[in-house]
Amino acid sequence: MRTLLLALPIVAALAGAAVPESAAGAPADEAVPELGPIRPKALPDDRAVREAWAAVLAQARYTHTWDVEWKQPVPKEEVAAKLSASFATLRRAAAQRPQLELLLALGVAGRLAHNADVDGAGDAGIEALRQAVARGEADPRAEWLLGGSLCHGNRVGEGWPHVATARASAQEKGAPLPAGFWHDAFFCAAVGNMPAHQLEAWKVLEALGAGTPAERYLAERARRFVLRPALDQQYEAKTTARARKDGTRVWITSRVCGFRFAIDGARELRMPPVQKGMCVVESYAGPFQGNEQVSPGIFVFARAAREGEPPDALLDMAAPPAKRTAAKDFPCAFPGCRAFELRNAETYEKEGGGLAVVLAFTRDEPAFPGLAFEEPVVARGPPGETSYTAFEPELGRFPGRISYVVVLDTAVSVAPQAKEELRRFLADFSAE
């Protein structure tokens, strides 16, 4: 039995059912998306293999996606029989000569046959693509097709990392990715509830003239599902941040505030309500032994800029210019970031006084807010049972520029240990 990792409207649209005329203007009876840049001339010079691949392409229009109900003009049994025979031929050839192009073709054939409910074809196709990836030829097609096949097999949690790897690999080489990749990236993002990635993929597909009516409908739906926060509203932390446990650590992501960081799961953490466009994070490290035990504080302030407000407004509030000096021994990794120190002999008197390290930087609103932080949402349920994930609207990033100030508050006596904690914190801190 299939496990559906998506809400019913997404199933209907991506499976090729008619989308609402008010949203798309026409049923989603579009041309078959590109199924991967298989190079026929690179396949073995074997008549049976070439004919099998041609037969696969001939059936692709009927099974490029799986549908709950078969609605094609050709009987399903006929399509399944042809794909099954072609898949078997390619599989025998790949067992004898597991070259890259043949493995990729077998993977594509497996996906199509799976969509026609040919038993075992989906898993066998995925295994062929895993072999293609394992060859280590740095060919983004292998990662792309493996990720896409896993997503189409309702395994988006496994598939998305491969899609992301393919994209990164192609970008490193400066090679543009074809429309077929972006169709798969859009599909993965849609079923994994990643609206920023949907909108990015849709923009590329639209520019290529390759977007389908169903994708247009779902892109508009994704745009409506990301709500614009208001500067004059208060938002509780439960609506502005998500926590994900990873071993002994916890990752905190705030789409509203545009940041992500990780802390030890046992560490104290406070996130007051977001007010007037200001996000605050308060955590403590240690304790470390000085003359007494000291627990340094690490604080994050993120504030959406007001109209006409200078970029240093938040920094000047946290560290007045007259009291701060440049921190020469604490390089800041963020572009445009500056580091300062403030000393106060009246605090931590038994520990040699107080020391604050202050780092400040800004981020302009990216083209697709949330892109850097999105991860697929995977449905949870008993094995073998159909389960659904209901996607609900969520708050997006504050618009415009956000100013960030990270503060370490410690005693001089434990400054080396505290600075090391801050460095570890910053290594996992990202902002957009």
Tell whether domain 8-226 is in CATH 1.25.40.10: yes
* Residue 262, phi then psi, degrees to nearest 5: -130, 145
The answer to whether 431 and 264 are in contact (CB under 8 A) is no
| Structure confidence at residue 137 (pLDDT) | 86
Domain map of the chain by residue range?
A: 8-226, 234-365+400-431
Contacts of 236 (CB under 8 A, 6+ apart): 273
Could you tell me the two tokens for 420?
């090391």
Distance CA(112)–CA(310), nearest Å, equals: 56
Over residues 2-42, the pLDDT tens digits come to 333 333 344 445 544 333 333 333 233 333 444 557 888 89
Contacts of 22 (CB under 8 A, 6+ apart): none
Of residues 161, 164, 159, the one with CA closest to residue 177: 164
Strand partners, 360: 338, 405
Distance CA(221)–CA(392), nearest Å, equals: 11
Distance CA(40)–CA(389), nearest Å, equals: 39
Distance CA(307)–CA(326), nearest Å, equals: 28
Q: Choose between 308 and 223: higher pLDDT.
A: 223
* Distances from the Cα of 75 to the Cα of 51, 54, 78, 118, 125, angstroms: 21, 19, 5, 14, 23
Q: Choose between 379 and 198: higher pLDDT.
A: 198
| Structure confidence at residue 13 (pLDDT) | 52
- The three-class DSSP label of residue 169 is helix
Of residues 394, 361, 367, the one with CA closest to residue 242: 394
Long-range contacts of 36-40 (CB under 8 A, 24+ apart): 36/104, 36/108, 36/141, 36/144, 36/145, 36/148, 36/180, 37/141, 37/178, 37/180, 38/101, 38/104, 38/105, 38/108, 39/101
Q: Averaged over 36-60, what is the pLDDT?
A: 91
C-alpha 412: how far from its chain's center? Answer: 40
Distance CA(160)–CA(66), nearest Å, equals: 19
Distance CA(295)–CA(289), nearest Å, equals: 9
8-226 and 234-365+400-431 agree in CATH topology? no
Q: What angle do CA 430, 324, 416 make, to 5 degrees?
A: 65
Which one-letter DSSP state was computed for residue 302?
Answer: E
pLDDT at 222 over 80: yes
Would strands 394-395 and 293-294 be described as parallel, antiparallel, or unpaired? Answer: unpaired
pLDDT at 96 over 60: yes
Instruction: Supply the DSSP string of 225-287, one letter for each residue.
Output: HEEPP-TT-EE-HHHH-EEEEETTEEEEEETTTTEEEEEETTS-EE-PPEETTEEEEEEE---
* Residue 97, phi then psi, degrees to nearest 5: -135, 85
Could you tell me the two tokens for 22?
């008010």
Q: Averaged over 186-198, what is the pLDDT?
A: 95
The residue type found at 94 is A
pLDDT at 87 over 50: yes
Distance CA(65)–CA(127), nearest Å, equals: 19
The chain-wide mean pLDDT, for the chain, equals 87
Could you tell me the two tokens for 320?
């007045």
What's the pLDDT band for 380 if we cut at 50, 70, 90? low
What's the pLDDT band for 246 if we cut at 50, 70, 90? confident
pLDDT at 273 over 90: yes
- Please classify residue 394 by burial: count the beta carbons closer than 10 Å to its beta carbon, then call 0-12 exposed, 13-18 middle and 19+ buried: middle
Name which CATH class applies to 234-365+400-431: alpha beta
| Structure confidence at residue 29 (pLDDT) | 33
| Structure confidence at residue 286 (pLDDT) | 86
